[in-house]
Amino acid sequence: MKIVLSAVLALFLLGCSEDSPKEVQNTEVKQVVAQEVKAEAPKAIAAKEDVVAEITKEVETVVTQAVEETKVAAVAAVAEVKQEVVKVVEVATVKEEAAKETEVKVEAVKEEVAAVASSNGEAIYKVCSSCHGTSGEKPALGKSQVIQGWSAEKTQTALNGYKDGSYGGVMKGIMKGQASKLSPEDTKAVSEYISKL
């Protein structure tokens, strides 16, 4: 580049000189400049190609590094999401198993309660059997209805009516005292037992 500037400067100075003919000077200067430009051109092109190659190599390195970093980050993110999904599935499975176990336990407790209530109903009825008979086949004291064959609902309604005074005839006074001793659970248990007599 310096050579080209020198050659142009020389041409300018030669063109301004009055001692030599302009045509001869211009031609010689042009030839010298042309030779220098021809000589320097391949070097300049090679230098530019080297710079382009260097920049290209740097860009490729940066792009490759960015792609690798992105791959690593993506793999890490996928692994993290996979772990979270596994945890969620495990928690859901544990909850489902716990729900099934709870359901089984609830059914077992219901069966136990029913068994206890049934035996409790039988124990409660033993007091009633002295007037109503072991199978509910007798009218109590010869004055009440035969309760054998009554549904659990009918018996429960009658016992609750005796408690609050809204049910009963001749036996109302006696039965109020008997029914008032029973809890709601006892009333239900004995009513269910009577319905099976």
What confidence tier does 5 reach under pLDDT thresholds 50, 70, 90?
A: low
What's the pLDDT score for residue 70? 80
CA distance 123 to 50: 107
Structure tokens at 169: 């005839």
- Pick from 33, 49, 72: which residue ends a domain? 72
Same domain assignment for residues 67 and 125: no
Residue 89 falls within a domain, yes or no? Answer: no
Residue 102 falls within a domain, yes or no? Answer: no
Count of domains forming the chain? 2
Residue 190 falls within a domain, yes or no? Answer: yes
Same domain assignment for residues 68 and 126: no
Looking at residue 140, which CATH number applies to its domain? Answer: 1.10.760.10
Residue 10 falls within a domain, yes or no? Answer: yes
Domain encompassing residue 163:
121-195
CA distance 77 to 184: 61
CA distance 170 to 144: 8
pLDDT surpassing 90 at residue 28: no
Task: Quick: pLDDT tens for 125-174.
Answer: 898 999 899 999 999 888 889 999 999 999 999 999 999 999 988 888 88
pTM greater than 0.95: no
Residue 110 falls within a domain, yes or no? Answer: no
Task: Quick: pLDDT tens for 110-134.
Answer: 677 666 555 688 889 898 999 899 9
Residue 13 falls within a domain, yes or no? Answer: yes
Q: What is the largest CA-CA distance in the chain?
A: 166
The CA angle 23-25-28, to the nearest 5 degrees, is 105
